[in-house]
Each structure stands twice: as C-alpha cells, then as structure tokens.
Structure 1
C-alpha cells in the first residue's frame, strides 16, 4: 500500500471528530446519570474475553457468533473473542462476579466490535449503551425496562414522533409446540412471518395442524383484538400461549398509561433473534430512520452458561446512531500570553464557567487558534470575554 494511503481506515470504522464527539460524550453522561437515578449500577467489562464466556449467547444466537471477532491469545494459546455485545458479559457478572440475591440492575457503555455491519449504513464499532435487569420474571420488570428505555430517549431529546413496537416470541413458540411441528417447518414459518408473505403463508399452512391459527397469527399480527377473535378457542386454552398474549396486552396498556402520546404498534410475529429472546420484545423507531433507536427484550436463563440461570430483560442502543446528524460548535476563548495575576485569575474564572480557554504560546496570535469564537481582552480595570 502506498504511504499516502496508510491513514485510511477499514470499511465500517470511522473517526469521531470534536464537533460530534462533544455531542456523543454529553449524551453518554446524561444517559448514564439518568439510568443511575432509576437504580441501574454502572459496570465496565473487558474488551476481550475467552470465547467460552462470550458464547453464552452465541449458542442460541448464531448471528452474534458470526459477528464476533476471534483471535488467539499469545499468552495462553486459547481462543479469545472481541465483544460484539455486552449482555453476556453482564450476565457473567450477575452469575459469578457480583451474585446478589433478588433483583439486580446494571447499566454499561462501551465500544463493541462486529465482523460485519449489522445493518445498512451502520458502523462495525458501535458505542453500545444499555441496561439489564436480572432476577424478576414478572411483567412489571418488562414494563419497567420499556419505561426506562423511553425515558432515556426522552432525556436525550429523541422522544418526539417515536414509535414503539411490541412483540412476544412466546405466541409463535407455544403454537409450534402445541402443533408438534418439526424444526424445519418452524424455520420455514418463521421466515414467512419475517417476510410478511401472507399468500405464501396461506398456502403453506393449509395442511398443517392448527394451520388456520398459524395463518391468522400472521394475518392479524398487529391487532390483538382481531387476533383473539380469529384464533381458535383451543389455542387460547394453551397456558403458555395465553400467558404470552396477556403479557403483550398488559404491557401495551401499562406503557400507554405512562406515555399517553406514544404511538404503540403490535407485531406478534416479529421474530428477530427468535432463538435468543424468550418473551416480550420491544424496539423504538423514529421517522426517516430504518434501524431502531433502541431495542431489547426478555432472555430468561441467560446465566445458565455460567451456572446461575436467572430471569433477565434488557435493552441497548448505539450512541453513534442516537447522535447521528447532531453537531455542536465548540466555543473557544483565546487569552493573550502572560503571567499577570489578574489575567490568570480571569482565565480561571472563565474556565470555571465551563468555557474552554486557550492561552497563546510564544509569538502566536489569534489566527493560530483554528475556529476561535471569543477572546479575552483587557477592558481597562478588568478582563472581559468578547466575540471574535
């Protein structure tokens, strides 16, 4: 590679320049402070771990396994993984490093790395921020997590015109179990639901046991009342199906009461990460954005890999995506060179107000400070800040 090209970065990786970095850092601090007020304790996790630790999700989520960079540890010779998601690391903390009894709440913020971009026009190194709740399998825990997610977006100034999608893998999963379908048939149905292929679904389900229920699950996936009216009485006698249906309905009702202006959509056959999630799933979308602002769901038993299976629910978001298109001019106050006591006290006072003050060096003048916005000038008996 020519020397002139050695500064180029790999595809899907980018520098963050001061005008955007300032926005992202302010967003990170506000988000973590907000999560702290809701009782979520901050944890830091290592960037690399033995692949066995990170595989607690990979066993049930092949997408995550494929997204994980793997390298050989030069000290032990063992296989390491660069974290592609921080959830399995927090599960390890809950299981062994900090195994509290009862409900545990954690939050985190850090860079993760993906082998490939996980969506259109996305980075391979997102700045992931999220929250996890361990130890409660109640709907109250799911409602709290959705409420916290929405509150965080509101705190970040992103609550206008957002749309919340709710789903639950339990409806499809319990119906598959009730019908006794094979794994191959289950995968085919899941694919049709994801593609919203209703004509294909109608034909495919004709000869299936509970075929009309499978078709109507897709046909009325976004309307709980119509779904209940068109599904068989038999399937609503199935305890697992009934519990999943009631969980979606109750969550929708409780979130709507807390956020009356929020538009809530239902999609009970949204089966992203189907083999990873175990219950309610949720995602928040905004106009003109294809990817969700934040998303999460229930993943009970995640700590089983570490010997301590616990109910769990959580959400995460990419701070780079949240701050997309936001830039902030950095105010720079330029002060003249000198060690005069009054000048140094004036510089200290301006910095105490939260402004950035740059004192000139050597023979520099105002032109040596790029994008200066203000300067400190001697106005007779006192020093004053004036616009450039």
Structure 2
C-alpha cells in the first residue's frame, strides 16, 4: 500500500505552532544567555564537502551522514550530523584568533539513523564551544554554562556523569597495546563486560592489568576519585586525569556530578574530560560534551577546545514550558484609536491578530484567548467568549 503524500520518513516530524513557539522562545533565551557569557553566534552551512565534515576526530560521524554528489564540483557532499567540527573549522581557519575564543550555534543536523528509539533524525542542535585554553578552568566554565542552560529550560540536571579518556589511554599505553588491541579493549569497557575484561587482561603485566580491571568498579560520587588514587597505577597520565577530576569535584560542588572512570563515550573524539547530563524525565543523556583538543588539526590548527551540545527540541519538550499567553483578537475597524491600541499591545509583546470577515472556525483554535472590545468609548482587552 502506497504511503499518502503527506507522510514523512520515520523519525522526522513537523513542528506545529504551539511547540514551535516554545522552541523558538527557548532558542532566544539560551542564545541570549550564551551571549551574556561572551559566546559569539556563528551559523555554518547545513551542507559541506564530506572530507571537511569528517576531518580529524569528526570522522566518527562518517556513517551518520547523508551523502550526495555536488552537481557543480562533482565532489561528495554531506548533510552535517554534528555542528562542532564546523565551528572548529571556523575557529581554526576563518577567525584565526590567537587568544581565547567563545562561539555558540543553533541549527538542524541530520542523522542517517536516530541515536535512540525516541530521538529525531533531525535534531535542532544548540551548543557552546570554548577554544584556546587548555586549563581545567575552561572545563569548569563550560559545565557551569551547561547547568545554567538546563535550568533556564526548566529541565534542571538530575545527574552529570563525568569521565576522563586520559585514564584509559594512560593504562593502554602502560600495557603496551597496539591500535587493534586498544580498540578491542575499548569495546569491552563500553559494554561493561567484566568477564571479557578478565579474559582480555589475563596475560597482561602488572600494574596495567589490575588498573584496567579496577575501572568498571570506579563509579559514584567524588569519593570514588580518592579510591581511584589508591587502586590505579602510579603513573603520570593517571595522576593528571585524576587531578582534573578532583578539581572539578571541588569547584563544582553545587552541581550533581557523578564519576564513571570506565565510561568511554566519545573515546575517538575526546582528548580529556567527557560528560553527559541527565534530567529526571529522560532515560537518555540530554546533553553531551567534553574536551576535544585535536579536532582542529585537520584545518591546520589544533587548538585546545571544550564544549557541549544538545537537542533544543528535546530540551523544550522536557522543560516546564514557556508559559506564554494566547493571542488577542482585534475587530476589523479602521479607527485611529483602535490602531493605537493595537500598536501599544504589540509594543508590549502581545500577539494581536485582526478579525477577518467570513471566518467560520474557532478563534480559540487560531490561538486567541482574549479580544479587543470597545467599552465606555475606549478600546480595552477582555476575555474571549466561547
């Protein structure tokens, strides 16, 4: 049976007026908040040449993108599946600033497959990125901004899981693993497959073996970081990662941080701290972020970088709503007094629509909950009668 012409592909959806109004309101609120924190808005194109979108660690997105041939150049192009590589290209190649650069963005991305059973294949991605500072202070700033973003939406974070890819890489180097073996170990840890981890490390020398076996059990509040100092090998890479995590725990005590030292989400992409934020009503992470210092190398400039992104549509649905009133219906009248009244209402932020003749539907269905009426010789706002 043929699908009707109005049917959309799976995991794509129209955004109807009430929801769209809430999403747009939240977009403005968040971009204004980013601006107040020094993050400047950039708007990359939704389509680029494929080799640009998969440059550096962005190559992990290769299987997530829709690809096609450009009819002008003959080169392969793609719809972006993530905006961060594009913003990194802008920082590295177009702006080319020497100091700290703060950038933000908001726009649609498209995925070949949804990232979860409830996700859209066309998220409206919003995010903030900080370039040019390799210290933990930048990570603290970004995490605070993320928490503020969720609070402004009404979807306050219930948990922010934090990990550090440096721990795994330090232990893999200590074990002398080649690239293939490191990838296999990564898969085992991502699956939290402890029996397979025991088998994999059975012939491995100490202390790398005991350190890797300890990772799956190192999760919880900040106390787990102190325990990690006792059970993980005494090597520089491990010390540096734990020091950064402990600094976060001290500086961000007001946030609901938890630590999972075996979580390697974004392993091929991130170079240091990684985090995922959760809200009470969502079973999956609503925001992802972390440090990714190597992405800009493909554009000729590997700058320190950290940031986060999330789906604005999902965030608006999880939030408490924008609480905006309905529109005001104004009669069809050419009087100067009514025109002045309507202008004053619109200047105050009210939506006013004119009552056109011959309307047979419900004005409430059109979004109105009040109307302008003439009372005692003056135009005023009254409730819309059913």
Fold shared per TM-score above 0.5: yes
Q: 187-196 or 269-278, which moves further after superposition?
A: 187-196
In the alignment, the residues of structure 2 paired with residue 52 and residue 187 of structure 1 have an alpha-carbon distance, to the nearest angstrom, of: 23
Q: Is the 8 A contact 1:336 1:359 kept in 2?
A: yes
Match of 2:125 among 119, 125, 128: 128
SS of equivalent residue, structure 2 residue 55 = helix
User: Which residues of 2 match residues 255-266 of structure 1 at below 5 A?
Assistant: 255-256=252-253, 259=254, 262-266=255-259
SS of equivalent residue, structure 2 residue 125 = strand
State the partner residue of 2:227.
226
State the partner residue of 2:211.
213
Offset at residue 273 of structure 1 (A)? 1.6
Offset at residue 184 of structure 1 (A)? 3.2
In the alignment, the residues of structure 2 paired with residue 148 and residue 198 of structure 1 have an alpha-carbon distance, to the nearest angstrom, of: 35
User: Which residues of 2 match residues 250-329 of structure 1 at below 5 A?
Assistant: 250-256=247-253, 259=254, 262-324=255-317
Q: Is the 8 A contact 2:218 2:262 kept in 1?
A: no
Any stretches of 5+ residues in structure 2 without a counterpart? none
Residue deviations 1:185-223 (CA, integer Å, cap 9, x gap): 322322222222223323432321221111012222442
Residue deviations 1:149-200 (CA, integer Å, cap 9, x gap): 11221222222x6111110000011110111013333223222222222233
Offset at residue 329 of structure 1 (A)? 6.5
In the alignment, the residues of structure 2 paired with residue 179 and residue 372 of structure 1 have an alpha-carbon distance, to the nearest angstrom, of: 68
In the alignment, the residues of structure 2 paired with residue 123 and residue 368 of structure 1 have an alpha-carbon distance, to the nearest angstrom, of: 32
In the alignment, the residues of structure 1 paired with residue 204 and residue 31 of structure 2 have an alpha-carbon distance, to the nearest angstrom, of: 49
User: Which residues of 2 match residues 92-171 of structure 1 at below 5 A?
Assistant: 92-159=89-156, 162-171=158-167
Q: Is the 8 A contact 1:166 1:252 kept in 2?
A: no
Offset at residue 272 of structure 1 (A)? 1.3
In the alignment, the residues of structure 2 paired with residue 51 and residue 184 of structure 1 have an alpha-carbon distance, to the nearest angstrom, of: 26
Any stretches of 5+ residues in structure 1 without a counterpart? none
State the partner residue of 1:376.
372
Q: Is the 8 A contact 1:334 1:376 kept in 2?
A: yes
Match of 1:75 among 72, 75, 94: 72
Offset at residue 302 of structure 1 (A)? 1.3
In the alignment, the residues of structure 2 paired with residue 329 and residue 240 of structure 1 have an alpha-carbon distance, to the nearest angstrom, of: 51
In the alignment, the residues of structure 2 paired with residue 286 and residue 303 of structure 1 have an alpha-carbon distance, to the nearest angstrom, of: 31
Relative to structure 1, the CA distance from residue 183 to residue 351 in structure 2 (aligned partners, 3 Å threshold; closer, same or farther) is same
- Cα RMSD, aligned residues only: 1.9
SS of equivalent residue, structure 1 residue 343 = helix
Number of equivalences: 376
Residue deviations 1:264-285 (CA, integer Å, cap 9, x gap): 1101111112111100011111
Q: 362-371 or 185-194, which moves further after superposition?
A: 362-371
TM-score (norm: length of structure 2): 0.92
Residue deviations 1:52-108 (CA, integer Å, cap 9, x gap): 211124xx3554111111111111111111111111111111111111111111000
